[in-house]
Amino acid sequence: MKVLYVLGILLLAACTSSVDEAIGATAIEPTAVEPVEPTAVPPTPIIEEDLIDNSEETDSRIGAYAIEIKLLTEDDRPERLKLLTSTWNTDWTRHTMPYIDILSGGPPRDGIQSIDKPAFVNVDEASEWLADNEPIIYVEIDGEARAYPLQILIWHEIVNDAFGSGDEAVPLLVTFCPLCNSAIVFDRRVGDEVYEFGTSGLLRYSDLIMYDRTTESLWQQFTGTAIVGQEAGLQLDTISSSLIGFGDFKEARPQGMVLSKDTGFPRTYGRNPYVGYDEIGQNPFLFQGEPDGRLPAVARVITLHMDDVETDIAYPLADLEQLGVIHDNPAGVEVVLFHQVGVSSALNAEIIADGVDVGGTAVYTPILNGEKLTFISSNGIITDEQTGSVWNIFGEAVEGELKGESLEAINHADHFWFSWATFRPDTIIWEAD
């Protein structure tokens, strides 16, 4: 299987020959420079004690915000990385991590083309080419619901989008890193500007490194943090999203809109270029060092990064699949996790709709109108013990006494274990009592 997903990477690189004038995106041909190969050097650990505060120069910004982090000021890129980035206008004297951690993923910068002028179709049109069990990134802002199918994101990795218009617009950065199975949505405002992002062609710990087209700073997709360049030390705001099935989306949000596969790029949407990548026992592609052995590297986890209580926690999907519902109170914060069957893996079979069922997930506060509800799952149906009302994956009561009520969503993400443990090494793994 490893050969298959390596061939998938090469296929992505081969697709960079297309040009689409309709949306203003021009493909960049691969350069002759050899990729930066992995070495035997293990990843540099992210150690909180090393962090220092650089907020004075960035605390006036909105959208993105400053974080406490050590800023390195020497351009000590390895020669191969210098050759690969020789024409870039990035400020390489500002970085938050050693350059030896950065590798080439194969395709050049913008070789995997972002979608910068996304078009949308209604759920009926999308149903003609999108199966009910296909995974989508679900985002809803002020009652406007959108679905971003992974069958499209797996080929583009970035969508630059916006909800609303004018001063009320919320510019979104919708991202998916197939190598880490990380679907994350950010607010792409930095100060008074709205940045547009693209793929850099570089990886760190197997994770996509993005770049903004304004300052050409490099940003880590997994954390939304600028790691190189003028904006080093800034953190993008995360927007709440869930990875669920298209069938659940169209049933609960019939007026919702779906990212169109008419992107202007010739791609075989619906096919997976990373066949078998998520099979337990696989080694992550271009990952330096040894993954955290507490779980298999590509085990799926539902994760919470709780800044307010300085807690990171991972819930193994295998446990949530078995239970259907998990109640927990990490650091005293009440949370409930829902699981809904009927969502295929995007990284398993050649045709995404044929992938193994991994289900969809969501996380909520179980507190409703001041009362804590206790949820159970039986035969795939979620109910609360207090009233017997039936709840869907959107945290909405659809039958019973509480019909019409909804739970408050808690920001979470679904990842492969190796990537979460690398960026959040102090994470706690939930265990059943």
In tens digits, the chain (433 residues) has pLDDT values of 544 444 455 455 545 544 333 323 333 333 333 333 333 333 333 333 333 344 344 333 446 777 778 899 999 999 999 999 999 999 999 999 999 999 999 999 999 999 999 999 999 999 999 999 999 999 999 999 999 999 999 999 999 999 998 888 999 999 999 999 999 999 999 988 999 999 999 999 999 999 999 999 999 999 999 999 999 999 999 999 999 999 999 999 999 999 999 999 999 999 999 999 999 888 888 888 678 999 999 999 999 999 888 899 999 999 999 999 999 999 999 999 999 999 999 999 999 999 999 999 999 999 999 999 999 999 999 999 999 999 999 999 999 999 999 999 999 999 999 999 999 999 999 998 7
Q: What is the 3-state secondary structure (H, E, C) of 348-384?
A: CCCEHHHCCECCEEEEECCEECCEECCEEEECCEEEE
Q: Indicate the SS3 state at residue 23.
A: helix
Q: Are strands 428-429 and 311-316 parallel, antiparallel or unpaired?
A: parallel
Are 413 and 182 in contact by the 8 Å Cβ rule? The answer is yes
Are 218 and 200 in contact by the 8 Å Cβ rule? The answer is yes
Q: Report the C-alpha gap between 8 and 5 in whole angstroms.
A: 5
- Give the number of other Cβ atoms within 10 Å of residue 433's Cβ: 2
Residue 93: exposure state from Cβ atoms within 10 A (0-12, 13-18, ≥19): middle
- Can you give the pLDDT at residue 307? 82
Q: Report the C-alpha gap between 232 and 171 in whole angstroms.
A: 21
Sequence-ordered list of residues with C-beta below 8 angstroms from that of 431, at least 6 positions apart, any chain = none
Q: What is the pLDDT of residues 174-226, one digit of tens each?
A: 999 999 999 999 999 998 899 999 999 999 999 999 999 999 999 999 999 99
Q: Report the C-alpha gap between 145 and 106 in whole angstroms.
A: 35
- Can you give the pLDDT at residue 37? 37
Give the CA angle between residues 257, 363, 366 to the nearest 5°.
120
